[in-house]
Chain A
Amino acid sequence: MTGGVPQDQSRSDSYTPVSIRVQTVLYRPAPGDIDRLFRGLRHAVEVLVAQNDAVSVSVALGDCSSAASLSLDDLASIVAEVKPFGIDGVTYSYFNANLGSARGHNRLLDEFDHDYVLFLNPDVYMSPFALAELALFMPDSSAGIVEARQIPLEHPKSYDLHSGDTSWASTAGALVRRGVIKATGGFDADSFFLYCDDVDFSWRARLAGYRVIHQPTALIFHDKRLTMEARMVVGDAEHYYAAEAALILAWKFSRPDLSEAWASAMEESSMPLQRKAAAEFRRRMGAGELPIPIDPDGRTAQFIDGDFAEHRFSYADV
C-alpha cells in the first residue's frame, strides 16, 4: 500500500487537501449495521490518513426508514468515536420518506462539494486497507469510478485483470470522482428506485469518457447470505425492483427489443412480482414516463444473456 493521495487536478488550489465524502443511504438498518459500518470505515480512514494526512474525510448518512434510525445522542456518540480516526464530521439527514437508494444518494449529493464520493451500503464492513486501495487510482484522472471487491459473495462480472476495467460498478462500495458526478448529475432516480441505478450511472460515466474500474485488492464485506440452493437470499422488494429496473435499463440504453422480449416473458411468468414489474413497465410506457433512450450505438451498454456485463459465473444456474 504505497499509493499516495494526489491533489485533485481539477482544483486550482493545489494545497487544498483531497476531500472524500462517504455516503450511505439507510433503510431500516438491522441492529448493529450502523455500528458495524463505522467500525470498518474508521479504520479504513485511519490507514488512508496514515499514508497521507492531506486527506479530509466526512460522512453523510441519509435515512429512508419509516422512523429515524439515529437519535441526536447516537449521532454525537458516532462523531466522537470516529473523530480520532480521521473522520472530520458525520451528518445525518432523515428523509421521512422511502426515496430509494438512487434518490437518497442524489438528495445527499445536493450538498456535495468534495473531490470524491465513496458510496457505501449500510450492510458493508470495509477492510482497513480498502480505501487506500481505491485511492491508488486517484492519480489516474480517467478512472471515474473505482469499485471495491465484495466478499463473501464476489460479484460475477468480469474485469480486466491488469487494468481493472469493467462494464459497471456496484455502488455498494465505490469511490467516484467529482467529475463523474458533474458529468452525470448523479443517479437517474426518476427511472430507478433500487436496482440498476449503479449500472446506469456507470454506463453514463463511461459515455462521458470515464473508465469504470474494479479494484480487487480493495475489499469490502457485504453482508449477503446464501440459501441451501446456493442462491442469494433476496426479499420480494429486491425481486420486483430488479425486474422493473432491468426493463427500464434496456429501454434507456436503446434496446427496446430486449425490454419488449423481457416484458413479454415476465408477463408469462408464474411469479406475480415479475408480472407486476412488466405491468408497471407497460404503464410507464403508456404514460410516457420512460426515460429518453441514449447510447443508440451501444458504445457502453452490455446486455449479455440477461446480464449487464460478461460474467465469469452465475448465481442463478443451479
Chain B
Amino acid sequence: MPMSDRYKFSLSDDSVYRCVLDLIEQHRPDHGTVMVDIGCGYGAIAETISDLGLGYIGCDVEPSGLVDLAERGFETEVFDLSVPGDAVAAIEKRLGDRALGAIVMIDVLEHVTNGPEVLSALSGLALRQGGVPLILAVPNITHYDIAAKLLLGRWDMTEVGLLDDTHVSFFSDLRLREMTTQSGWAEIGSNDFPLRFSDQHVPVDAAVLQEGAPLHDLLMGVRERSSSAAIVNEFVRAYAPLGATGGRPDIEGNEPAPFLSILMRTQGTRPTTLQEALLSLAAQTDQDFEVLLLAHMVPRDQLTHLQYLVDAYGSDFSARVRLIPVDGGGRSRPLTVGVELARGNYICILDDDDVVFGHWLETFRSVAAKHPGKVLRSPVAEQEVEPTTWAGGRPGYEVRSRPRCRWPEKFDVLDHLWENHSPPCGWAIPRSAFVDQGLAFDESLPVLEDWDVLMQAVLWCGVADTGEVTAVWRRWLTGDSSTSVHSDIEWDQARTAIIAKFDAHPLLLPAQSMTAIQSYRSHILDNEREVNRLRQVALDLQADVNNCRHHAHHLEGLVDEARREVETFRRSSSWRLSKPVRVMGSSVRRFVKPPAPRAARDD
C-alpha cells in the first residue's frame, strides 16, 4: 500500500478528526482567515473547515493526498518538515497577504524526529500572525491496552494505529506537555479522543484486556488512578504561542527535596499542644524536613499568632515551615492541599495534638534507606489527656494516664483491613504514591481519611516496620476531638464507604497472605466448632432443665394430692375423736430431754 494511502481516512463522528474540529470551533478563528493543515494527508477535515467560512491550505510531503485535495478544489503546499524553517517560509509565502487563522497538525509529531524544532518554528509563525492557535493531535503511547500488553511481553506494530510502524516519536501526556512548553506553546484547551478498545485491544481474551477479569480490573485501576489518559487514544490539544520560548518546565522545582514533608493540621484551637508538636520537630535529631502548617478555617487574625509561634524558633526552623490557610471542606481538605504543595520524598501527617520522640524522623530515614518506596510505619504510644485550665486562666491540659502501646509493633495487612491500628503520626508514605500513583485523600469522608489513604498506599507499596516507638498520640477524654465532634453514625458511614471503595476493585495482598488467611480461616473454624459444641451443651442443659421441670411438676401434683388426703383425714371424725390422746403425748415430750446428736456423743 502506498504510504499516503494508509492514511486516507474519512471524517466520522467517532474519530480524532471530530475531536479536532470541536476544538477548532471552541477556539474559532476569525471568519475569512486561513487554516493551515500540516501533514494533511487526504485532508479529511478540509470540507468542514471550508464550511466554517475559513480558507484551507493542505500541506504534506506526500503528493498523492495533495493531488486529491487539489481535485476537490483546495489549495495545497508540498514541503518537508525536516527543515522546519523552510516549511514555515513556504507557508508564509503561500499565505501572502491573507491572515492565518489557525494551524492544525494531526498525527504528525509522532512521525518526525525534530518535533521541538517544528513546534518552535510554528510558534514563531503563530506569533508573527498575531498569536493564532495550534491544534495538535498525537497518539497516546500510555493507552492501557499498550501498557497491559507490554506486561505480556507484546509489542504489536501495525500499519496504522497507536503502534504504527512508521512512528519514530512517542508521547505521554507529560512528554507532550514538556515538549510543547519548551517549544513556545501554552496549552489552552483539550478535547482528547477516547477509545476504550483501541486497535491494540488484541488478543481480546487475554485476562489483562478483559473487563471483569481481576487482573484487568486491578491493572486498569492502577493505570486510571495514576493519570487520566488510560483510555485516551489520541491527545487533542489547543495551544497559544508564548512570547518567548519556554525553558524546561519546573515540574519538580529546583530546590533539593527534603526527606519528609509533614502535614500538620490545626484549627488554631490548641495552641498548647501545637507548641509541643512544633517543639518536638525542632528537637529532632534529623532536621531534613519541611512542615506544611495547614491552618484549617482559622480566622485571619489568628494566623498572625500562628506565624509568631513558628517564627520564635528562628529562621533556620521557620524557613522550613509554611503556614498555609485552608478554607472549606472537611478534615481531609487541608491534607489534599498539603499533598499538592509537599516537596519531600515522603509525606506524613502530624496533627497539632501529636508529639514525637527525638528519633522519629531519624528512624523513618534509616528504614527508608533499607526499604525505599515502602510505607514506613512505627508503633505509636497512646496517652489519655484532658483539657484543663492552668494558672492565670490559661487553657491547658492534663495527662491522665501513662503512655500505652496498645497497637501492634508489626503491621498486619489483614488486621488493618478490619480496622486501623496505626495512628497517622506513626507512618509516612512515599510522595511518589501521591504523584505517580494518584493516591489522594478522600474529601468525602468526614473521618477515617487516614485509614483509607494508609490502606491504599500499603496495598500497593508495602510496609516497612521500624519497630521503634516514635510518637505519642493523645486521646482526649473530654473536649473536642474527632471522636466527640463526629457522631457514631458518621464513623459508621465512613467505614462503610471505605469498605465499598475497596470492594470496587480487586485487593492486592502481600506475599504470605495465603498462609495468613488460612490461619484466620482455621481460627474461625475452630471458634465455630467451639461455638457449636457449646451450643450443644446449652441444648443438653436445657433438656435437663426441662426434665427437672417436668419432674418437679409431677412432684407438685403428688404433694397436692397428699395435702388433699391429709385435709380429708383431718376433717374425719376419727381424727377429731383422738385429739385428747395427741395433746397428752405433746405434754410428755416437753419434759423428756431429746437425745444428743451422734457426733457430740462420740466426743
Partners in one complex: yes
Q: How far is the CA of A43 from the CA of B396 in the complex (A)?
A: 23
Contact A314 B275 (CB under 8 A): no
Contact B400 A228 (CB under 8 A): no
Q: Which residues of A contact B279 (CB under 8 A)?
A: 125, 127, 151, 219, 221
Quote the shortest CB–CB distance from B83 to chain A (angstroms): 62
Closest 10 CB pairs of A and B: A125-B283, A128-B312, A221-B283, A223-B358, A226-B469, A313-B402, A152-B355, A230-B405, A230-B403, A127-B279
Quote the shortest CB–CB distance from A211 to chain B (angstroms): 13
Q: Which residues of A contact B390 (CB under 8 A)?
A: 161-162, 216-217
Is B190 close to A, CB under 8 A?
Answer: no
Is B62 close to A, CB under 8 A?
Answer: no
Contact B282 A40 (CB under 8 A): yes
A-B contact pairs, 6 of them (CB 8 A): A43-B313, A127-B275, A161-B391, A226-B357, A229-B405, A312-B398
Q: Which residues of A contact B409 (CB under 8 A)?
A: 228
Q: Which residues of A contact B283 (CB under 8 A)?
A: 36, 40, 125, 221, 223
Is A67 close to B, CB under 8 A?
Answer: no
Is A227 close to B, CB under 8 A?
Answer: yes
**For chain B, what secondary structure do more than half of its interface residues adopt (helix, strand, loop), or is it mixed?**
mixed
Is B194 close to A, CB under 8 A?
Answer: no
Is B586 close to A, CB under 8 A?
Answer: no
Contact A156 B388 (CB under 8 A): no
Q: A-contacting residues of B (Cβ < 8 Å)?
A: 272, 275-276, 279-280, 282-283, 285, 312-314, 316, 355-359, 379, 381, 388-391, 394, 396, 398-405, 409, 467-469, 471-472
CB-contacts of A138-166 with B (<8 A): 151-154, 156, 161-164
Q: Within the complex, which residue of B314, B401, B469 is in contact with A228, where a contact is CB–CB below 8 Å?
A: B469
Look across to chain B and name the residue whose beta carbon is closest to the beta carbon of A42.
B314
Contact A43 B312 (CB under 8 A): yes
Contact B399 A154 (CB under 8 A): yes
Q: Within the complex, which residue of A32, A152, A315 is in contact with B285, where a contact is CB–CB below 8 Å?
A: A32
Is A317 close to B, CB under 8 A?
Answer: yes
Q: Within the complex, which residue of B280, B356, B396, B469 is in contact with A217, where a contact is CB–CB below 8 Å?
A: B396
Q: Which of A123, A151, A217, A317 has the most CB of B within 10 A?
A: A151
Q: Which of A40, A46, A128, A223 has the most CB of B within 10 A?
A: A128
CB-contacts of A73-116 with B (<8 A): none
Look across to chain A and name the residue whose beta carbon is closest to the beta carbon of B285.
A32
Q: Which residues of A contact B469 (CB under 8 A)?
A: 225-228, 230
Beyond A43-B314, A230-B381, 14 extra complex contacts between A and B, CB < 8 Å: A39-B314, A39-B316, A128-B313, A152-B280, A152-B472, A162-B391, A216-B396, A217-B390, A221-B280, A225-B357, A226-B403, A230-B402, A230-B469, A312-B398
Quote the shortest CB–CB distance from B273 to chain A (angstroms): 9
Look across to chain A and name the residue whose beta carbon is closest to the beta carbon of B384.
A313
Q: Which residues of B contact A313 (CB under 8 A)?
A: 399-402
Q: Which of B358, B379, B388 has the most CB of A within 10 A?
A: B358
Q: Which of A217, A226, A228 has the most CB of B within 10 A?
A: A226
Quote the shortest CB–CB distance from A263 to chain B (angstroms): 27
Q: Which residues of B contact A314 (CB under 8 A)?
A: 402
**For chain A, what secondary structure do more than half of its interface residues adopt (helix, strand, loop), or is it mixed?**
loop
Is A129 close to B, CB under 8 A?
Answer: yes
Q: Which residues of A contact B471 (CB under 8 A)?
A: 152
Q: How far is the CA of A161 from the CA of B394 in the complex (A)?
A: 11
Is A47 close to B, CB under 8 A?
Answer: yes
Contact A151 B355 (CB under 8 A): yes
Q: How far is the CA of A227 from the CA of B381 in the complex (A)?
A: 10
Contact B388 A161 (CB under 8 A): yes
Contact A317 B357 (CB under 8 A): no
Quote the shortest CB–CB distance from B249 to chain A (angstroms): 37
Q: How far is the CA of A48 from the CA of B359 in the complex (A)?
A: 29
Quote the shortest CB–CB distance from A77 to chain B (angstroms): 15
Q: Annotate A191-225 by CB proximity to B: 1 below 8 A, 0 otherwise.
A: 00000000000000000000000001101010111
Given contact pairs A154-B399, A313-B400, A221 touches B358 in the complex (Cβ within 8 A): yes
Q: How far is the CA of A36 from the CA of B283 in the complex (A)?
A: 7
Quote the shortest CB–CB distance from B474 to chain A (angstroms): 11
Q: Which residues of A contact B403 (CB under 8 A)?
A: 153, 226, 230, 315
Look across to chain B and name the residue whose beta carbon is closest to the beta carbon of A215.
B391
Quote the shortest CB–CB distance from A45 to chain B (angstroms): 11
Quote the shortest CB–CB distance from B563 to chain A (angstroms): 64
Q: Which residues of A contact B272 (CB under 8 A)?
A: 217
Quote the shortest CB–CB distance from A280 to chain B (angstroms): 30
Q: Which residues of A contact B313 (CB under 8 A)?
A: 43, 128
Quote the shortest CB–CB distance from A83 to chain B (angstroms): 14
Contact B275 A226 (CB under 8 A): no
Q: How far is the CA of A129 from the CA of B312 in the complex (A)?
A: 8
Contact B398 A151 (CB under 8 A): no
Q: How far is the CA of A229 from the CA of B403 in the complex (A)?
A: 9
Quote the shortest CB–CB distance from A22 to chain B (angstroms): 17
Contact A161 B389 (CB under 8 A): yes
Quote the shortest CB–CB distance from B350 to chain A (angstroms): 12
Q: Annotate A162-174 by CB proximity to B: 1 below 8 A, 0 otherwise.
A: 1110000000000
Contact B400 A151 (CB under 8 A): no
Q: Which residues of A contact B404 (CB under 8 A)?
A: 230
Contact A39 B405 (CB under 8 A): no
Q: Within the complex, which residue of B389, B391, B399 is in contact with A164, where a contact is CB–CB below 8 Å?
A: B391
